[in-house]
Amino acid sequence: MNHKKLIKSLIPLCEQASEAIMQVYTSKDFAIRIKQDLSPVTKADLAAHEIIQKGLLDLTPDIPQLSEEDESTTFQQRQQWDRFWCIDPLDGTKEFIQQNDEFTINIALIEQHKPVLGIIYVPATKTAYWGSTQLPAHKQIDGQRSAQIRSRPLGQELIIAASRRHGQTRNDVLLKPLYKYFRRVHNQAVGSSLKMCLIAEGVADFYPRLFPTSEWDTAAAQAIVEAAGGRLVNATSLQPLAYNEQESLENPFFYVCGDPQFPLEEVALRRATPPA
């Protein structure tokens, strides 16, 4: 498939879904309900889902879709898929509800269990990130000319992309032995898949995720981070995350780093053998 043509079609689709999201966002009439997994969903999630589902069906009618907001797909069906779209119509619903602007649209193309193309769109700032196995990672702000982005090599300062809601104490314990390698260490708390976008564009260095996520939370970001020169790997095996290999759609814990030479083995060893 021609990834450049796909991106040209996905950008306006994300813009259309973004407009629907922002209409709800500015109205503050979210119609929040709690799903079975205890996560919130709003009418913005559902509106974006409908727009993206229809748009992808028109664009690629032969490619099935796996979306966070479609619970009808069974594992038996998914087992037959060699290629599919993996979608989070509104990643960071809690950030959306808190109105801090840190929520995204995530769309990834998966082939043979690997994310080969990803686009992340930030409705509040009209910013798009994308990358694929055919294209270097790019960033575009509000329809302006896009610019290629690249993750950065490690230097004297370590910037850790951290969740606003999960695991900072656990991260500090895990990473403390690494601090000796750096003159300064900073945490930058951000919501949704934006944490991984920061690594792709060379603003942050490392993101450890030791709390549950689902495959649609990481698929697009993994394609972008890898296209930018970084890594997104299983926290135990240190191998890239794989998709649609089992009935559960929950990811293992994972690490994201901008520099492939980041000492992940030392972090993994620290996690495997915590101090007494």
Sign of CA dihedral 80, 38, 220, 264: negative
Token pair of 149 as six digits? 């982005």
Phi and psi at 88, nearest 5°, equal -120, 105
91 annotated to bind ligand: yes
Cα 41 from Cα 115, distance rounded (Å): 25
90 annotated to bind ligand: yes
> Rg of the chain over CA atoms, in angstroms?
18
Number of Cβ within 10 Å of residue 164's Cβ equals 16
88 annotated to bind ligand: yes
217 annotated to bind ligand: yes
92 annotated to bind ligand: yes
Considering only CA atoms, which of 37, 55, 35 is closest in space to residue 45? 35
226 annotated to bind ligand: no
Which amino acid does the sequence have at 1? Answer: M
215 annotated to bind ligand: no
**Residues flagged as binding site:** 68, 88, 90-93, 217
**Residues flagged as binding site for substrate:** 68, 90-93, 217
**Residues flagged as binding site for Mg(2+):** 68, 88, 90-91, 217
